[in-house]
Chain A
């Protein structure tokens, strides 16, 4: 019988060659979870916290999230939760939509009732590692349980949203602390990320 992720197999230490930095880049990708082709998704053979190909169903695409603020995706966290048989993780993805109007309301209505997967780009990319350079760049949330809206708020006088929308999407009971999109090297990973939105890669 398999024992799942119960024993340490590596040292715990700071990365002095490539110091970790906080923050997330301004552009991410949001995907309707139902559009993921789970049967075609490829996990890394050596690391089950890595997906090398996040394949979508035919005719489906991801959509860009652009957050042009000083701290994009502020409120994005991962927290361990107690469980009956094992501990799990809650992922919160926060962002603001600096816009309002009928088109935005349509997006908010979709966010309110849908289930999503988001891929965002960390400011810390791990590009100076001796192996697997760049594998910390793209992080995936919502893959296992789906991100659902926990906050959708429009405050006309908020300095944070300037009359736009504050959004928090939450995934509960994820079995993994983190999931990364990494195709073996930084350049190919960027192509995999861009190919999610039909952009030329």
Chain B
């Protein structure tokens, strides 16, 4: 189910109140499973762990407070990989990765596509075509490795 930014904001605030008092509900756990990746751009590992949902909620809340609901990029890095380039003022991780940054970095390092867990099938085309880079924001097929 696609959630709006306003709905997300309301839900997170309600969960915050519960997390500070009686604890998260089972429905909150379900909400986290469905929306964690949408907010943080990172996969939620569902485990039998008493603190995992609470930690995930804190992460969601913090990221959402800072960034709001961002467009999901078509590129995502594997854990442990960071992008460094003279083009960037700071190292790029999944928290500040955009399609433009990914394409810019790959133009200098095309063999390093193996840094990415998710990228469009036509990523090589995007490296040579600035117009296609903008079109990649519209949901192209994403290839997951």
Residues 77-95 of B, flagged 1 when their CB comes within 8 A of A and 0 if not, give 1111110100000110111
- Interface residues in A, total, Cβ within 8 A: 28
Which residues of the other chain, B, contact A183 by a CB distance below 8 angstroms?
82, 84, 91
Which residues of the other chain, A, contact B26 by a CB distance below 8 angstroms?
none
Q: Is the CB of A56 within 8 A of B80?
A: yes
B6 close to A (CB within 8 Å): no
Q: Is the CB of A187 within 8 A of B91?
A: yes
Which residues of the other chain, A, contact B72 by a CB distance below 8 angstroms?
none
B46 close to A (CB within 8 Å): no
The 8 sampled A-B contact pairs (Cβ below 8 Å) are A40-B78, A40-B112, A40-B114, A53-B80, A59-B43, A183-B91, A191-B82, A198-B79
Chain A, Cβ-Cβ closest to B83: A53
Interface size class of B (residues with CB under 8 A): 20 to 34
Assembled-state Cα–Cα distance A61/B76 (Å): 14
Q: Is the CB of A195 within 8 A of B45?
A: no
Chain B, Cβ-Cβ closest to A181: B80
A residues near B (Cβ < 8 Å) are 37, 39-40, 53-62, 103, 183-184, 187-188, 191-192, 194-201
Given A55-B115, A61-B79, A195 and B94 contact (CB-CB distance below 8 Å): yes
Q: Is the CB of A187 within 8 A of B90?
A: yes
Besides A187-B90, A195-B77, 7 new A-B residue pairs in contact (Cβ under 8 A), listed by A number: A39-B114, A53-B81, A56-B79, A58-B117, A194-B93, A199-B59, A201-B93
Given A58-B117, A103-B50, A187-B90, A200 and B80 contact (CB-CB distance below 8 Å): no
Q: Is the CB of B42 within 8 A of A40?
A: no
| The one of A57, A197, A200, A201 that contacts B78, using a Cβ cutoff of 8 Å | A57
